[in-house]
Amino acid sequence: MPQSPPFIDLRSDTVTQPSAAMRRAMAEAQVGDDQYGEDPSVNLLQERIATLLGKPAALFVPSGTMANQIAIKLLARPGDDVIVGQTAHMMWFEAGAAAANSGVQFTPVGRGGTFTADELRAAIKPRGHIVLPPTTLVAVENTHNMGGGIVFPQAEAVAICATARDAGIASYLDGARLFNAAAASGLSLAELALPFDLASVALSKGLGCPVGSVLAGSAALIAQAVTARRRFGGALRQSGILAAAGLYALDHNLARLADDHAHARIIAEGIAGLPGIRLDLSTVQTNIVIWEMAPDAPDAPTIVAKAKAAGVLISALGGRSVRAVTHMDVSGEQCRQAGGVLANIISRD
Ligand SMILES: *Cc1c(COP(=O)(O)O)cnc(C)c1O
């Protein structure tokens, strides 16, 4: 049973419940054995996402983490170096999977999740060097979760991928929130994905689906991804049940992402000026609000506990960093309320 929460849950955009209409679409989905390529709903979702991202082929996978792990498996070898933005999801939040599964190491560059082609160039370690681990992959996260949901500057993404190509380095777009990046920037998904060899999008974040991500790239890479997915245990059978939620979301939940962004602004503007916190409003571009508690103010876990007692769920990202995320299951009114609650808690201390 879905909880009927007394809480306004802003912990993540992954907490959404599939709507009644989405559940109906899932229940009525045409399905088949996807490992025989016979699931019409999965096939249609893959075709639609490939077209949206402007890539020849796409593959449904169970999670964003698996999409990232398949990308690393395909584009880097054990002992290689992978360059990412600071606090990249694949470096911080995948339980060490890149090291465990693919034997790679990360070099984080830039600040706040974004980086420049110059910063990439300065960090590239050449192949064939006697001591350096060869850089073979660069990954961009758009939007960047820990950077406050910022949109990665597209001109820089284009320059980064061109630099990578010149150096024989592959490029990957972790687009778990690429739909948010498109809504906020006005650029199409295809424009955002164009410079990259391989890209992923999540269905289970802002789009409100219960399960799933999709990888998109060349036919050759996606053929290899089919094998890697099987190796990782992510090849499914009648997964059209899940793909149907994605198809439903593409038709019904894309246009409303701008509402989530406006709701995040409401929360951010409700607290931004308060003493005791540092919140850069210029980072509030999509559905994520991240702020720092000042050294002399209560720490993040204290703020999270007080907010919970007042009916608002948010996340502590560390000792001083707090995150609130808007999504389709919280209204503008609830976000206004949550902003008020947070302002109260922060300014009372
Ligand atoms: C959530 C997220 C993922 C992982 O998605 P899961 O479906 O939770 O495995 C990957 N990258 C980014 C940027 C994310 O925010």
The pair of three-digit structure tokens given for residue 223, joined into one six-digit string: 């053929």
Q: Looking at the structure, tell me whether residues 278 and 230 fall in a common domain.
A: no
Question: Measured from the CA of 212, which atom of ligand 1 is nearest?
Answer: 7
Q: What integer pLDDT is reported at residue 6 of this predicted model?
A: 79
Q: Looking at the structure, tell me whether residues 262 and 344 fall in a common domain.
A: yes
Q: Looking at the structure, tell me whether residues 289 and 180 fall in a common domain.
A: no
120 in a domain, yes or no? yes
Question: Measured from the CA of 205, which atom of ligand 1 is nearest?
Answer: 1
Q: Looking at the structure, tell me whether residues 236 and 263 fall in a common domain.
A: no
Q: Using the 3D structure, point to which of 252, 272, 296 is the last residue of a domain.
A: 252
Instruction: Write b or e for each residue in 5-24: b if 16 or more Cβ atoms lie within 10 A of its Cβ, otherwise e.
Output: eebbbbbbbebbebbeebee
Ligand 1 centroid to 163 CA: how many Å? 26
72 in a domain, yes or no? yes
Q: Looking at the structure, tell me whether residues 233 and 279 fall in a common domain.
A: no
Q: Looking at the structure, tell me whether residues 264 and 320 fall in a common domain.
A: yes
Top mutation candidate among 16, 174, 203, 287 for ligand 1, by most atoms within 8 Å of CB: 174
Q: Looking at the structure, tell me whether residues 133 and 248 fall in a common domain.
A: yes
Domain CATH number, residue 99: 3.40.640.10
| Tally of domains within the chain | 2
Residues contacting ligand 1 via CB (< 6 Å):
63-65, 68, 89, 141, 145, 174, 176, 202, 204, 213
142 in a domain, yes or no? yes
Domain carrying residue 316: 256-348
**Up-side HSE of residue 250: CA atoms within 13 Å toward CB?**
20
168 in a domain, yes or no? yes
Q: Looking at the structure, tell me whether residues 164 and 40 fall in a common domain.
A: yes
Q: Looking at the structure, tell me whether residues 26 and 38 fall in a common domain.
A: yes
Residue 144 contacts residue 150 (beta carbons within 8 Å): yes
Q: What integer pLDDT is reported at residue 347 of this predicted model?
A: 87
Q: Looking at the structure, tell me whether residues 195 and 76 fall in a common domain.
A: yes
Question: Measured from the CA of 64, which atom of ligand 1 is nearest?
Answer: 5
6 in a domain, yes or no? no
**Up-side HSE of residue 226: CA atoms within 13 Å toward CB?**
12
Q: What integer pLDDT is reported at residue 349 of this predicted model?
A: 57
Q: Using the 3D structure, point to which of 237, 252, 267 is the last residue of a domain.
A: 252
Q: Looking at the structure, tell me whether residues 293 and 220 fall in a common domain.
A: no
Ligand 1 centroid to 181 CA: how many Å? 15
Say how many residues make up the chain: 349
Low-confidence ranges of the chain (pLDDT < 70): 1-5, 349
Domain CATH number, residue 330: 3.90.1150.10
Q: Looking at the structure, tell me whether residues 296 and 238 fall in a common domain.
A: no
Q: Using the 3D structure, point to which of 229, 252, 275 is the last residue of a domain.
A: 252
Q: What integer pLDDT is reported at residue 348 of this predicted model?
A: 72
